[in-house]
Amino acid sequence: MAEAEPSFKDPIWYAIVEELAALGAAVHICSRNQTEINDRVREWESKGFKVNNAGISTIKGAIEYTEEDYSTIMKTNVEAPYNLSQLAHSLLKESGAGNIVFISPVARVIALPKLSNYTASKGTPIVCHFLKYILSITNYYNIHHLSQDYPHAKDLIKLIVRTPLGRLAEPNEISSVVAFLCLPAASYITGQVICLDGGCTLSFKDPRWSLKGVTALVTGGTKGIGYAIVEELAALGAAVHICSRNQTEISERVQEWESKGFKVSGSVCDLTSRAQREELIQTVSSVFHGKLNILVNNAGTVTLKEATGYTEEDYSTIMNTNVEAPYNLSQLAHPLLKESGAGNIVFISSVAGVIALPKLSSYAASKGAINQITKNLACEWAKDNIRVNTVAPWGVKTNILPADVAHAEDFIKLLARTPLGRIAEPNEISSVVAFLCLPAASYITGQVICVDGGYTVTGF
């Protein structure tokens, strides 16, 4: 048996405080050990922000857990953070933009050996009730709550072998994600469970938070979400190539971005044409000298109809644009991504690929396919040091959402079910895409992240 008690000697706790403080937050810490607090406060200085991170684990077979074990684990891992959140609610509400981040393990998502009670404590759901007060409640998972001898156990070694990236996370690969969720850039993420192990001491001079020297291809980059993604990546230092079917739009956008000091180039491509996709990758290879770090498969199309109203042409167009094109483009880009030594693919999907939405059956099928492709490519290409993730937005203020749809009865009903009570701004999607492409997100792969204002998790 081994227990990990709350301590600011714990590298995860320490990294989280450093990460938030480096971003300019005032941080308040708590511990049962006054000496440790004094030591750390002298080191960090007195600050004033709060993160729920206290927890213990007891490693035993299920039949070996005693009543005392169960009570201690549940009180520490469930009752304490839940009650603390209740007590802090009025302060968070008063701030006008509160954030709660819970630290939880992958044991909540999959079964891990000798952690049944711990898993139960971390699997207890936290409801969305506070969300109407602009709180961002987000669960996170890591595998760092382990005793010192556990990383050498046979059970864990077997689990690591099954992990596509083939290693445990560093504490600094966790704290970066906690910090990101507390930033205004994550303003439309709430209620999400993101499987990862991620983050280190934060400074904007930290190379983990820069894309300087990185190359990127963004499809459909002249407007909407794609435009915001290009701005985000370029502002972080990336050299970006865009494609569109409209040369005039490309020229206008490139000129606009060059005036801002961004490195952006572009070329015409109809992504529904396999020959033009091949030509696009040849162009990208030439522009970026045979290497590509980032591929953002953003371009897509949508047709709103009842299932019985979709024609063969509708179905073919949607599947060709939303599935075949990004899948084939990923195949074509694979050698360039592999050659870069640190490749990233981000697909733009939709919550329609996660849950049922009206008049979107064919579109939903295409996005569901992309969500599964993400998982397969993440596992298959991890050996090539290529990470693959998907961002699945809910409604976004772009021209892909016609004005008549935005005011339609069905849409208004769906919006009413969204805990944050609004659709997203494009830059609330692009910020997540950019984060996934940063070195700070180096242990996130195969994930479908719903950036949906809490829509997919609410039961209210």
Residue 266: closest CA among 275, 274, 429, 256: 256
C-alpha to C-alpha distances, 206 to 44, 229, 287, nearest whole angstrom: 18, 21, 27
Q: Where are the alpha helices (DSSP H) in 123-187?
A: 154-161, 172-182
- What are the beta bridge partners of residue 396? 424
Residue 346: closest CA among 243, 438, 214, 457: 438
65 is catalytic: no
C-alpha to C-alpha distances, 302 to 280, 401, 454, nearest whole angstrom: 23, 9, 22
User: What is the helix, strand, coil percentage profile of the chain, to 5?
Assistant: 50, 15, 40
- What are the beta bridge partners of residue 49? none
- CA 78-82-84 angle, to 5 degrees, is 125
Catalytic residue among 118, 363, 443, 455: 363
Residue 457: closest CA among 106, 22, 138: 138
Q: Which residues are catalytic?
A: 363
